[in-house]
Amino acid sequence: MIRVGVDIGGTFTDVALAYPDGLSTCKVLTNYTQPEQAILDGIAIAAEQAGVQLAAIEQVIHGTTLVTNSLIERRGAKLAFITTEGFRDVIEMRSENRFEQYDLNLTLPEPMVAREDRFTLNERMGPKGEVLLPLDPAEVSAMVETILEGGFEAVAIGLMHSYANNTHELQMADALRAAKPDLPVSLSSVISPQMRELPRFNTVIANAYVQPQVADYLGRLVARLRDADVTAPVFMLHSGGGLISVETAAEQPVRLLESGPAGGAIFAADYARAHGLDKVLSFDMGGTTAKICLIEDGAPKTANTFEVARTYRFKKGSGMTVSTPVVEMVEIGAGGGSIASIDTMGRIQVGPRSAASEPGPACYGKGGTEPTVTDANLLLGRLDPDNFAGGAIPLAVAASEAAVATRLADPLGIKAGEAGFGVTEMVDENMANAARVHTVENGRDIEHFTMIGFGGGAPLHACRLCEKLGITELLVPPGAGVGSAIGFLKAPFSYEATQGLFQRIDGFDADAVNTTLKALEAEARSFVDKGAKGAKTTTRLTAFMRYAGQGWEIPVPLDYVTFTRDDAAAIQSAFEDAYRILFGRIIDGLGIEITNWSLVVASVMPDAAPATRFDTGTTAPIMRTRQFYDAALRRMVDAHEVERSALTAGQAVEGPAVIVESETTTIVTSAYRAIGQGDGSLLLRRKEPV
């Protein structure tokens, strides 16, 4: 089967085309005004490289950051929000806190819908879905008038407790659709039927806000592809790491927010399965940010809420919390372009400000004068000035030296090399700390994980990160520069359906749960069928549970069966197992509550071809010896330089070593050795203690 994956990123549009003889990849510059043009160009190049006719392509799989960008840049629809009287300001009051304690001039992000465009209905549901205040049809008609007169391009409806009873939301939506059938209307009880008004309202608003634009773009894309003879169906990668039809994506674009990054996690997960690694930390580092994700038993860890469009140095709380299924990733402002500076205490700080690709690091010679992580790597010998991006971008060592000297070394009274070490060490510390906190939050010990590093910057930094984290094995897969696009090709068709249903375990109502789960399954299956009708599928059931009185639920995996009253005990013990993993102990004597249910239906993917593992190898041919700065040893070391292509299966090189290829450079520190693997990966293993 011939399939093509396309990832639109901020700078590049990546294409990966899988055909019976192999994989063809390419990168083209992202076209901001006509994103679909870059896709067509990229597919044409990849197909030509592979010798494949465009008409022979059988599936197009697409992921994009355009939805997120549209939210960040506020380029969405003129939107009205209809909510319950008394709750007009939920999205503006947020969590009522400041995400930065010491900044007197802190500003909060503007709400996505202006206050005058938020309207209220005199109605109210109770927490069990009981009607506390009925909705007056006359008020519904009046509201329709208001919306039509306002000239809105889209409408979001979010009423209190609508996850428990959505009759009022439906009544309002029906009236709007009857009056204006082509007006896009999003319902919180459809888009995100979960308890907690703030994330649910945010989610339905985000969906409605981007929907006209996304629907328009996807429509154009499909048409342009067809014109270019690509008649294959188009599928989208959703944030949860599975595929949905382009029609579903146009209805629920909020599911696409983390579409691109999720592809990277799937890419890493595929290698984790092939290498039989059940505990993996994926580490993806690019020019501006680094992303970390836990992959256990071959599946990226997922969550049902995340924060999008952070406005303040990637700070938690400075964005907008939405509740939609997502591959859980920690993102920090650390990349090759991250700028180093000195704070008021004379400390070197790195990022989150980035020189990005324009002007880029000082050594690019495009006018950048501030020292970046890439400049520091160059000064420390980790990058070769004459062989960066396969020699396409000559690097100016003198420019890096000048930037580091004037901005860092001279003010601190230290040598440029030492300042450069300070920069890379600080950025590595920041990434290592983020990884450590993330594993702790998940109740895991990071020492037991294997790292998979990809993206342009990861192979330069991953080995040092492993030293800091006590990780003994690091896998660097091939094709790391277009990892997300390749990941798209490995994704199953999947859909996660969720529903808030509040119960105490001591009053477990099996009938209500079974009814809910049947509905969730039917919903999820209907979406999966759009891409994979008749395919073998799996289901994954999760209950979100907590002790009574606690504020947050934990996910509890359960077998998907028809429950009876007697299953309460088993559910309780599953909760206790999950709680123990996360928090180290359980609490006797407290009531237990279930708040939400989630059911994933996914098509079964063929097993990843197992990679033959080589733990040792014979010495690969050394091109030359060059020097780089080994941070753990605190000195320059003589390193072997090896071509990546020379490290075929069973070929090895002892650290210190530098492995070069046109896309990136892999640094093997003195404490590690690298062994080529059967699938083109590099395995870096810590040497035995001497």
195 scored as a contact of another protein (CB under 8 A): yes
CA distance from start to end of the chain: 50
In degrees rounded to 5, what are phi and psi of residue 26?
-160, 160
Task: Rank residues 113 and 675 by Cβ distance to another protein and give the closer one.
Answer: 113
Q: Which of 27, 62, 161, 255 binds another protein (CB under 8 A)?
A: 161
Helix (H/G/I), strand (E/B), else coil: 261:
helix
- DSSP letters, 88-151, are TTHHHHTTSS-SSTT-TT--PPPPSS-GGGEEEES-EE-TTS-EEEPPPHHHHHHHHHHHHHHT
Q: Which stretch binds another protein (CB under 8 A): 86-94, 145-153, 239-247, 323-331?
A: 86-94
- Restricting to residues 405-424, which ones interact with another protein according to CB under 8 A? 412, 414, 418, 421-422
Helix (H/G/I), strand (E/B), else coil: 537:
strand
Task: Rank residues 103 and 615 by Cβ distance to another protein and give the closer one.
Answer: 103
CB of 475 to another protein, least distance (A): 24
Task: Rank residues 199 and 336 by Cβ distance to another protein and give the closer one.
Answer: 199
The H or E element containing residue 340 is strand 338-342
- Restricting to residues 456-475, which ones interact with another protein according to CB under 8 A? 468, 470
Q: Counting beta carbons within 10 angstroms of the beta carbon of residue 170, is it exposed (0 to 12), middle (13 to 18) or buried (19 or more)?
A: middle
Q: 419 near 412, Cβ under 8 Å?
A: yes
| Residue linked to tokens 């910057």 | 457
Task: Rank residues 19 and 201 by Cβ distance to another protein and give the closer one.
Answer: 201
**Cα separation of 551 and 246, whole Å?**
37
139 scored as a contact of another protein (CB under 8 A): no
**Cα separation of 166 and 188, whole Å?**
9
Task: Rank residues 197 and 375 by Cβ distance to another protein and give the closer one.
Answer: 197
CB of 552 to another protein, least distance (A): 7
116 scored as a contact of another protein (CB under 8 A): yes
Task: Rank residues 561 and 633 by Cβ distance to another protein and give the closer one.
Answer: 633
519 scored as a contact of another protein (CB under 8 A): no
- Restricting to residues 302-321, which ones interact with another protein according to CB under 8 A? none
Q: Which stretch binds another protein (CB under 8 A): 84-92, 283-291, 390-398, 561-569?
A: 84-92
Task: Rank residues 534 and 589 by Cβ distance to another protein and give the closer one.
Answer: 589
127 scored as a contact of another protein (CB under 8 A): yes
CB of 38 to another protein, least distance (A): 38
CB atoms within 10 A of CB 516: 17
375 scored as a contact of another protein (CB under 8 A): no
Number of residues that bind another protein (CB under 8 A): 71
Q: Which stretch binds another protein (CB under 8 A): 51-59, 330-338, 523-531, 589-597?
A: 589-597
CB of 432 to another protein, least distance (A): 8
Q: Which of 62, 124, 291, 540 binds another protein (CB under 8 A)?
A: 124
Helix (H/G/I), strand (E/B), else coil: 345:
coil
What the block records as the tokens of 135 is 């909705």
**Cα separation of 661 and 645, whole Å?**
8
33 scored as a contact of another protein (CB under 8 A): no
583 scored as a contact of another protein (CB under 8 A): yes
626 scored as a contact of another protein (CB under 8 A): no
Helix (H/G/I), strand (E/B), else coil: 71:
helix
566 scored as a contact of another protein (CB under 8 A): no
110 scored as a contact of another protein (CB under 8 A): no
CB of 34 to another protein, least distance (A): 35
512 scored as a contact of another protein (CB under 8 A): no
Sign of the C-alpha dihedral, residues 119, 122, 127, 131? Answer: negative
534 scored as a contact of another protein (CB under 8 A): no
**Cα separation of 450 and 433, whole Å?**
16
179 scored as a contact of another protein (CB under 8 A): no
From residue 163, alpha-carbon distances to 112, 166, 304, 366, 380 in Å are: 22, 6, 15, 53, 56
